[in-house]
C-alpha cells in the first residue's frame, strides 16, 4: 500500500527527532553564506549556483531537520524538472520530506498540470492557495497523484488579515471556513504564520477545526520576526516549523539548524512541564 504524505511526515519526524523545516528561498540579492557569495553565482552561472546552494544546504542541515520547503518563486524560473529532481533526491537520501512552496491558485485543469509536474519532480507535497475555492477538487486531484496538499489558512504577512480573518463566510472568519474545508475534504494540513498578528486563539481554532492528525506548517520564525511559542503551545502535536533565510544565509547553516532544533525541543519541554505543573496545582 502507498505511504501517505502524513505517514511520511511522521516517519521523518521520528527518525530525525525534529519538526524543523528548512525553507529554501535563495533570493539573488541576498544569496550568500555568511559573507561569502558562492563562486558559481559570482561567475554568472545562476542555474548551477542556485542548485549547488540548495544541495549543500540540504546536506548540511539534514541531521537537524525533517523537511525542506523550496519556494517556486525563487527557483522555478532558473531550475527545471531535471534540477528539481536532484533536490528532491538529495532530500530523500537524507531522510527529509520535500514540500514545494508553490501556493498554487488555479482552475482544476491547470492545477492538475501543476500536480503532474510536481510529482514528476519528486516532491511529497505542495502548498496551495484556496482563493479559487476548489479545495475539494484540488485535494482529490493531488491525492490521485500521491501528493500531499497543505492549504494556506492564515498567512504570515500582516496584510493577510483583511481577507483571511476579517472577511466572513456565513458569519465566520474566512480562515475558519478554510479550516473546516480542510477537515471535510481531507486535505493534509493548514499553513499559518507564526507572526504577531496571528493569536494563540487563532491557532487553537484552526487546530480544533482540522482535527488532531493533519499538519500545521508554520512559516514566519526568524527573519520575519515570528516566535516559537504560539505554534508550540497552540498548534498541537503535528506541526512543522519553517526557518528559511535565518538558516540558509548563515555562514554555518548546519550549526544554525542545530540551534533551532535544540530551541524547539526546549520550548516543547518547557511547555509540557508547565502543563504538568498546572495539572498538579489544579488537583
104 binds a copy of itself (CB under 8 A): yes
213 binds a copy of itself (CB under 8 A): no
72 binds a copy of itself (CB under 8 A): yes
Residues 6+ apart with CB under 8 A from 113: none
73 binds a copy of itself (CB under 8 A): yes
| Unique residue bearing C-alpha cell 482544476 | 108
Cα-to-chain-centroid distance, residue 169: 26
60 binds a copy of itself (CB under 8 A): no
What are the C-alpha distances in Å from 66 to residues 18, 109, 125?
6, 32, 14
Please, what is the minimum distance in Å from the beta carbon of residue 215 to a copy of itself?
Answer: 20
Rounded CA separation 99/124 (Å): 6
Select the span of 32-40, 72-80, 208-216, 272-280 touching a copy of itself (CB under 8 A): 72-80
Residue 70 sits at φ, ψ, to 5 deg, of: -75, 140
**Nearer to a copy of itself among residue 62 and residue 79 (C-beta):** 79
Cell triple for residue 13?
Answer: 519526524
118 binds a copy of itself (CB under 8 A): yes
Select the span of 66-74, 184-192, 198-206, 229-237 touching a copy of itself (CB under 8 A): 66-74
Q: 230, 225, 168, 223: which is closest to 202 by C-alpha?
A: 230
| Unique residue bearing C-alpha cell 526546549 | 266
61 binds a copy of itself (CB under 8 A): no
Please, what is the minimum distance in Å from the beta carbon of residue 210 to a copy of itself?
Answer: 18
Q: How does 145-154 read in b/e, with b if 16+ C-beta sit within 10 Å?
A: eebbbbbbbb
Q: Which of 17, 28, 255, 275 binds a copy of itself (CB under 8 A)?
A: 28
Rounded CA separation 112/138 (Å): 8
Asked if residues 188 and 203 have their Cβ atoms less than 8 Å apart, the reply is no
150 binds a copy of itself (CB under 8 A): no
**Nearer to a copy of itself among residue 166 and residue 273 (C-beta):** 166
**Nearer to a copy of itself among residue 28 and residue 39 (C-beta):** 28
Cell triple for residue 44?
Answer: 554568472
133 binds a copy of itself (CB under 8 A): yes
93 binds a copy of itself (CB under 8 A): no
Site of interaction with a copy of itself (CB under 8 A): 25, 27-28, 47, 71-74, 76-81, 84, 103-111, 113-114, 116-118, 120-121, 129-134, 136-137, 152, 155-157, 159-164, 166-170, 174, 177, 224
Amino acid at each position: 500500500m502507498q505511504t501517505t504524505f502524513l505517514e511520511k511526515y511522521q516517519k521523518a519526524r521520528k527518525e530525525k527527532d525534529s519538526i524543523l523545516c528548512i525553507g529554501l528561498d535563495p533570493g539573488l540579492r541576498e544569496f550568500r553564506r555568511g559573507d561569502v557569495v558562492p563562486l558559481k553565482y559570482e561567475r554568472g552561472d545562476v542555474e548551477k549556483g542556485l542548485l549547488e546552494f540548495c544541495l549543500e544546504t540540504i546536506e548540511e542541515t539534514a541531521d537537524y531537520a525533517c523537511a525542506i520547503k523550496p519556494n517556486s518563486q525563487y527557483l522555478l524560473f532558473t531550475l527545471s524538472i531535471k534540477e528539481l529532481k536532484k533536490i528532491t533526491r538529495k532530500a530523500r537520501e537524507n531522510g527529509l520530506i520535500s514540500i514545494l512552496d508553490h501556493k498554487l491558485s488555479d482552475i482544476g485543469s491547470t492545477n492538475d498540470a501543476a500536480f503532474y509536474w510536481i510529482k514528476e519532480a519528486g516532491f511529497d507535497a505542495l502548498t496551495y492557495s484556496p482563493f479559487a475555492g476548489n479545495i475539494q477538487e484540488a485535494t482529490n486531484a493531488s491525492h490521485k497523484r500521491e501528493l500531499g496538499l497543505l492549504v494556506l489558512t492564515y498567512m504570515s504577512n500582516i496584510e493577510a488579515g483583511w481577507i483571511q480573518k476579517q472577511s466572513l463566510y456565513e458569519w465566520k472568519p474566512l480562515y475558519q471556513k478554510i479550516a473546516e474545508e480542510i477537515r471535510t475534504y481531507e486535505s493534509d494540513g493548514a499553513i499559518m504564520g507564526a507572526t504577531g498578528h496571528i493569536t494563540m486563539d487563532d491557532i487553537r481554532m484552526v487546530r480544533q477545526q482540522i482535527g488532531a492528525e493533519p499538519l500545521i506548517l508554520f512559516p514566519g520564525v526568524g527573519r520575519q520576526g515570528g516566535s516559537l511559542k504560539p505554534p508550540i503551545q497552540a498548534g498541537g502535536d503535528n506541526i512543522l516549523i519553517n526557518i528559511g533565510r535565518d538558516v540558509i544565509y548563515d555562514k554555518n547553516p548546519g550549526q544554525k539548524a542545530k540551534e533551532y532544533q535544540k530551541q524547539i525541543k526546549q520550548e516543547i519541554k518547557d511547555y509540557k512541564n508547565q502543563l504538568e505543573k498546572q495539572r498538579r496545582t489544579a488537583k
